[in-house]
Amino acid sequence: MTHPTDKDQGLDVAKKLAQEEAGIGRLPKKGLSKWAVPVIGVCWSLFQLSIASWLILDTWYIRAIHLAFGLLIVYLSIPMFRKPRFDLRFLSATDRIPLIDWVLGIAAALAALYVVIDYQGITSRYGAPIPRDIVAGFTLFILLLEASRRVIGPALSVIALVFTFYAFFGPYMPDVIAFKGVSLNRFVGQMTMSTEGIYGIPLDVSATIVFLFVLFGAMLEKAGAGRFFIQLALSLLGGFKGGPAKAAVLASGLTGLVSGSSIANIVTTGTFTIPLMKRVGYPPRKAAAIEVAASTDGQLAPPIMGAAAFIIAEYVNVPYIDVVKAAAVPAFASYAALLYITHIEASKLGLRGLPREELPPFFRTLVSGLHYIIPLLMLLYELVVLRHSPEAAAFNAIWVMALVMLFQRPVRAYLDKEPLGPAFKQGIVDIFSSLAAGARNMVSVAMATAAAGIIVGVVAMGLGGLINQIVDQLSGGNIYVLLIITAVASLIIGMGLPTTATYIVMASLTAPVIVTVGGYYGFEVPLMAAHLFCFFFGILADDTPPVGLAAYAAAAIARSEPIPTGIQGFMYDIRTAILPFMFIFNHDLILHGINSWSQGLLIFAMACIGNFAFASATQGWFITRNRLYEVPLFLAVTLIMMRPDAVAGWVGVPMDQRYWMYLAGLAIFALVYLIQRPRAKRDVVPA
């Protein structure tokens, strides 16, 4: 008789967290319950592929059908309670779908489809809903909040209810925060029968773009790309000092290209990299924390950026490629700094890499996975070079990926001289399985965007102006205080929300205020910078204690304590936290107004050095242990490299010559290197 190991139990916990985040809480083994969700998921994926190609529908129909599929899957796949409650154990059933969830799921789907069923009537009486409109709208409102609670947790539903309460009872609030309020008819009409509520921009982006990218990611994962990325990263970096940690960062970055979830990223890559990190000498806490930081930062990486990139493009009203351009330097500089941090930790501990004979050969590994790389490169080529729309690029990549999944098993069978029929059959099964998995993975995004639409809708009713005044008063009109308030609020709200929802909430509440207050005091803050600021801190909430679900997932695999793991992961991510404060004022970091490749590469290289200096200051190590007087020198390098514009202003250098300030930063960096070099071989600290 075999017993589960600690590693197996930890992986089970991590997978459970990933399943809950993806909306998989019920896995029936037989009957209709077993096949209902997979079949509905496949139908949802086929619908999304149809509207991306040949099926032309009004945007109302697309958003409503998208939401209906999502709601139905939530109620059929996630129990009302995670754990049995008193005499209501049947509501927590995981081996079957209770009748009440069938009823709620169908009712929610029909309520979402009401705008399709009575489309002509609703458009003809826009702004004057009749009683049945109110009933259908109120049903959708309640069942959406419950679905959101099941998938995401109570945080987003509670926030939406608070805003709803404020919309109705605003006139009775103290004068300082009083709001004129709205009627029931107007509230339900705007929330459920207009494009300024539940069916707003976030849900539209979810329905038309995000789904395709999530489906593409699910197909890559089902085909085995996740393991290939890990093997490729190990073959490249595994032999270097602290190699498994460097490989974890690279593998998480590659996985993050198409993954919108830090927890799923951890389960995919951390399962392999965390044990390897522990094996070469990283303490469990640090091994888990490195994976947390790498997987969290994976959401920064274009093209998906935690599914928020497309919503940012709609909110800022710019082409999607402009969002990718703006996020490129901060995202990749942050990743470069994390690689540097893994090197620092390995140097502190005196660690080596894995023996070369234990590493997969690079060229053989690369060739074995070319069929995974080609769809990815094609996707990036269409997005960046050809400037195709995101949905067109993702759709084409999905078809290429489907061909890969169909033929990769038969090709292997042919080379191994095995029968081709079963291999083709399994390829078809894999394709349909990935269609179902893509739909399940989309559930949390669909619910988050729809429920966040309630908050956006209340703000659009007139609450936005009042929020601007309140935030302005809290900050005292000081842009720096306002940014700190926004950062802290994003971290707190983001503890209970997925990245996309956190971004939508904070961008709706604070992004316009950041731009306005900055203008009052002579700071020109691009709207893109304000939105990226909210986005970055929404991501960092994933590893912020005490919640930090990503830290819990990694700690479960590493068998470390979740809270210390989260704290260590956040310490690694501090360099990511300073970047938004820098690009708010130094627009070069988001390539605002930068059209030269050489200029962009210079900015990126100097941003990396600035991040390295900050990492050395916070980690207490450069090429050896820092001395106290060296820390201010590292911070000076960080400031010069991140804010050459400010330094140029202080010393009286014209703004068009600000890049000469980089020389001063490089000189200080080199000086610290020369100071530390004589004592470099003496310092190694215990784990």
Residue 687's pLDDT band, with cuts at 50, 70 and 90, is very low
- How many structural domains does the chain have? 1
Query: pTM of this prediction?
Result: 0.88
Burial of 126 (0-12, 13-18, 19+ CB in 10 A): exposed
Q: Look at residue 194 and give its three-state secondary structure.
A: coil
Burial of 325 (0-12, 13-18, 19+ CB in 10 A): buried
Q: For residues 112 and 180, which has the higher predicted lDDT (pLDDT)? A: 112
Q: What's the average model confidence in pLDDT over 349-358?
A: 84
- Give residue for tokens 């489906």: 215
Phi, psi of 510 (to 5 degrees): -120, -25
Q: Among 78-92, 424-438, 448-462, name the most confident range.
A: 424-438
CA-to-CA dists, residue 546 to 98, 494, 501, 549, 552, angstroms: 34, 12, 19, 9, 10
Q: What's the average model confidence in pLDDT over 78-93?
A: 66
> Lowest-confidence range among 31-40, 129-138, 254-263, 440-449?
254-263
The yes-or-no verdict on residue 40 having pLDDT over 90 is yes
Listed residue (666, 673, 676, 536) closest to 609, CA to CA: 666
501 assigned to some structural domain: no
537 assigned to some structural domain: no
Q: Which residues contact 21 (CB under 8 A, 6 or more apart)?
A: 261, 263, 264, 444, 498, 549
Residue 468's pLDDT band, with cuts at 50, 70 and 90, is confident
134 assigned to some structural domain: yes
Structure confidence at residue 93 (pLDDT): 67
Q: Please count the helices (runs of H) and the strands (runs of E) in the chain.
A: 32, 0
46 assigned to some structural domain: yes
* CA–CA separation, 612 and 632 (whole Å): 14
The yes-or-no verdict on residue 94 having pLDDT over 70 is no
DSSP letter string over 483-538?
HHHHHHHHHHHHTTS-HHHHHHHHHHHHHHHHHHHHHHTT----HHHHHHHHHHHH
Structure confidence at residue 89 (pLDDT): 59
Listed residue (430, 452, 499) closest to 21, CA to CA: 499
Residue 642's pLDDT band, with cuts at 50, 70 and 90, is very high
Structure confidence at residue 168 (pLDDT): 87
Arithmetic mean of pLDDT over the chain: 85
127 assigned to some structural domain: yes
Q: What's the average model confidence in pLDDT over 599-615?
A: 94
CA-to-CA dists, residue 464 to 206, 511, 593, angstroms: 24, 11, 30
> Lowest-confidence range among 41-50, 62-71, 327-336?
327-336
The yes-or-no verdict on residue 17 having pLDDT over 60 is no
93 assigned to some structural domain: yes
> 163-191 pLDDT, tens per residue?
888 888 878 877 777 777 788 888 888 88
> 224-277 pLDDT, tens per residue?
888 888 889 889 888 888 888 888 888 888 877 766 677 777 887 888 888 888
**Which residues span the domain enclosing 15?**
6-154
33 assigned to some structural domain: yes
- Percent of the chain, pLDDT > 90? 28
> Lowest-confidence range among 365-369, 602-606, 607-611?
365-369
The yes-or-no verdict on residue 618 having pLDDT over 80 is yes
- Give residue for tokens 């081996």: 95
Residue 584's pLDDT band, with cuts at 50, 70 and 90, is very high
CA-to-CA dists, residue 268 to 20, 339, 570, 586, 678, angstroms: 15, 19, 21, 36, 42
> 364-397 pLDDT, tens per residue?
989 888 888 889 889 888 988 888 888 899 999 9
* CA–CA separation, 603 and 325 (whole Å): 13
The yes-or-no verdict on residue 97 having pLDDT over 50 is yes
347 assigned to some structural domain: no
Structure confidence at residue 1 (pLDDT): 41
Q: What's the average model confidence in pLDDT over 183-201?
A: 86
Q: Look at residue 115 and give its three-state secondary structure.
A: helix
> Lowest-confidence range among 180-184, 206-210, 427-431?
180-184
